[in-house]
Amino acid sequence: MIRKLQHIFALSEQGAKDLIKAVIWCFVCNISLMLPIGVVMWVMMHLLDVMGNGGDPMSHFWIYTIGGLIVLALLFILHYFQYASLYLATYKESASRRISLAETLRKLPLSFFGNRDLSDLTSTMIADCSALDQMFSHYIPQLIASIFSTIVIGVFMFISDWRMALAVLWVLPVAVLFTAGSKKLQDAFGTKNILTKRAVSEHIQEGLETIRDIKACNLQETYMKDLDEKLSTMERSSIHSELATGVFVCSAQAFLRIGLATTVLTGAALILSGELSFLFFLGFLFAAARLYDPLDMVLQNIAATFSAKLKIERMRAIQEQPVQEGIEQFNPKNYDITFDHVQFSYHDGEDVLDDVSFIAKQGEVTALIGPSGGGKSTACKLAARFWDVTGGKITLGGVDISTIDPETLLKHYAMVFQDVVLFHDTVMENIRLGRRNATDEEVLAVAKAAQCDGFIRRLPQGYQTIIGENGSTLSGGERQRISIARALLKDAPVILLDEATASLDVENESAVQSALSQLVKNKTVLIIAHRMRTVAGADRIIVLDGGKVAQQGSPDKLMKQGGLYRHMVELQQESSVWTLG
């Protein structure tokens, strides 16, 4: 049962156990709310008996008072435990759910993120999780408990008087079927509402990321017009979704109230025929009025559960994704990277790499060059197991990297990519990401080596300056140098450089290349570059064209061979003398 609840509601094992406890406490509290009716009936019967025997009705006042206080105290205690089982447990599961999602996302290959929209993932992590918090604290346990408590109370009603029980309960199955019958319609509107909200989030995120281009191209009015249209669509979709739910739920709740009329009519007929006492009739009337309140919640919660199902499915789709796993103890004899007949495609039938084989040896610089779209960056990322190959294999020190835990593997890599990622933190901490236990002196040393020290000291607070989201206050060249400093600090045996000096001016490029020459000593270096002078000193060059290895060898050998490498060198030499006008 625990595992089934885990699957249905996307819960942890403890969350499933807490859900069962919450249902039990809600059930007990629902049943306990019949206690005041029992106390009132007992007091009325006792008073009638005392007055019938000529006694003083106030003689048992303290007994009635104490009885009432005991019932109130019992209700307080039961509802306290219900509150703890509902809300406190929900908050714990909420934290567990978010951590579980984050852990799953941490272990997923980058191919998953390439096929999913960032705003959609953000919506699942924030909006869907928040919605499920409310579902499990306000709806689902109460719904399940209300169903069981209604069955138990209904059984007692039928035992007491089947005619009155039928008059009270006949409306229930009709109202439930009416609400449940609207599931397809509510699912359709709910799905559409999710999609329209996602479209708005994507448009806003896109606008924030491309604000400079929007302004530069004078597209502000076009962007805002599109946003207004998407907001209007979302508003209409939300109204339709709420209306579809409200019409069915409110209609079912209104129909439920017909039960009070049939209870009164049936009770009146039975009293007139002498088959039912007036006091017994009042008890049924009180019980019916009390019973319909949780039934209203049942109907409302059924509709809410339909909505929750969509969010649970989105969350389960992430949690059930196959994660990257492998051995956590990895001590290779060397750090040679070998591509052995590697095949890779982002989408079925569209190979980015096709039968690629080469070796990047430890102590050598291996350069990947070729036309744009040839698969250079893909090969570099495959070497770090950001994706898993679809054919062949990649080994590090003779060990297939697909058998190594990604986090264990990446401890041996230092990377500088063209798209630098920095965090909203100080310069010091952004560099220290390379090695978390590094001292301030070590950070300063690598910053100087990467030619960062000069511009950092000109910042308002120097190394303690907050550089904004993704280093928004820095230039492209400054961000790239910080990324290089981070790699220098990590001092890993495998270095991956993807256009590491692309954003640098000529003066800084020469200085940083001197720093990189210190970084790459006795290490396995895989470098991607479009400038032929950058790779002129490489030990080995791999020329990728159309996802295949067109040429490989030393720069001198490839120049003598002719072919694509020589053609690219000659083209860049020709372009170096090109001038405007």
Tokens encoding 185: 């319609």
Calculate the alpha carbon distances from 282 to 166, 201, 287, 288, 473 in Å: 16, 55, 8, 10, 75
Tokens encoding 486: 């981070």
Residue 338 in this model has a pLDDT that exceeds 90: yes
Question: pLDDT, tens digit, for every residue of 439-492?
Answer: 999 999 989 888 888 889 998 899 999 987 777 778 777 888 888 888 889 889
- The CATH code of domain 2-319 reads 1.20.1560.10
Asked if residue 20 lies in contact with residue 85, where contact means CB atoms within 8 angstroms, the answer is no
Predicted local distance difference test score (pLDDT) of residue 360: 92
What would the mean pLDDT of 175-196 be, rounded to a whole number? 77
Residue 576 in this model has a pLDDT that exceeds 60: no
Asked if residue 171 lies in contact with residue 295, where contact means CB atoms within 8 angstroms, the answer is no
Predicted local distance difference test score (pLDDT) of residue 183: 72
Tokens encoding 16: 């499933």
Domain with CATH 1.20.1560.10 in the chain: 2-319
Residue 488: Cβ within 10 Å count: 27
Tokens encoding 506: 């000529």
Tokens encoding 368: 């990947």
Radius of gyration of the chain (CA): 35
Question: pLDDT, tens digit, for every residue of 110-121?
Answer: 777 766 766 677
Phi/psi at 550 (nearest 5 deg)? -85, -40
Predicted local distance difference test score (pLDDT) of residue 358: 93
Residue 25 in this model has a pLDDT that exceeds 90: no
What would the mean pLDDT of 528-546 be, rounded to a whole number? 83
Least confident of 100-109, 212-221, 377-386: 100-109
Question: Which pTM value belongs to this model?
Answer: 0.67
Of 190, 147, 197, nearest in space to 308 by CA = 190
Of 351, 422, 411, nearest in space to 384 by CA = 411
Residue 519 in this model has a pLDDT that exceeds 80: no
Q: Compute the Cα dihedral for 242, 140, 27, 33 and give only its sign.
A: negative
**Candidate CATH numbers 3.40.50.150, 3.40.50.410, 3.90.280.10, 3.40.50.300; the one for domain 337-575:** 3.40.50.300
pLDDT tier, 399 (very low <50, low <70, confident <90, very high otherwise)? very high
DSSP string of 342-361?
EEEEEETTEEEEEEEEEEE-
What would the mean pLDDT of 86-90 be, rounded to a whole number? 79
Residues with Cβ within 8 Å of residue 477, at least 6 apart in sequence: 503, 504, 505, 508
pLDDT tier, 361 (very low <50, low <70, confident <90, very high otherwise)? very high
Report the chain's terminal Cα–Cα distance, integer Å. 78
Least confident of 63-67, 213-217, 329-333: 63-67
Domain with CATH 3.40.50.300 in the chain: 337-575
Strands 337-347 and 391-396 come out as antiparallel
Helix (H) or strand (E) holding 136: none
- The beta strands (E) that lie in 285-418 are given as 337-347, 350-360, 365-369, 391-396, 399-400, 413-416
What is d(CA 428, CA 445) in angstroms, rounded to the nearest whole number? 12
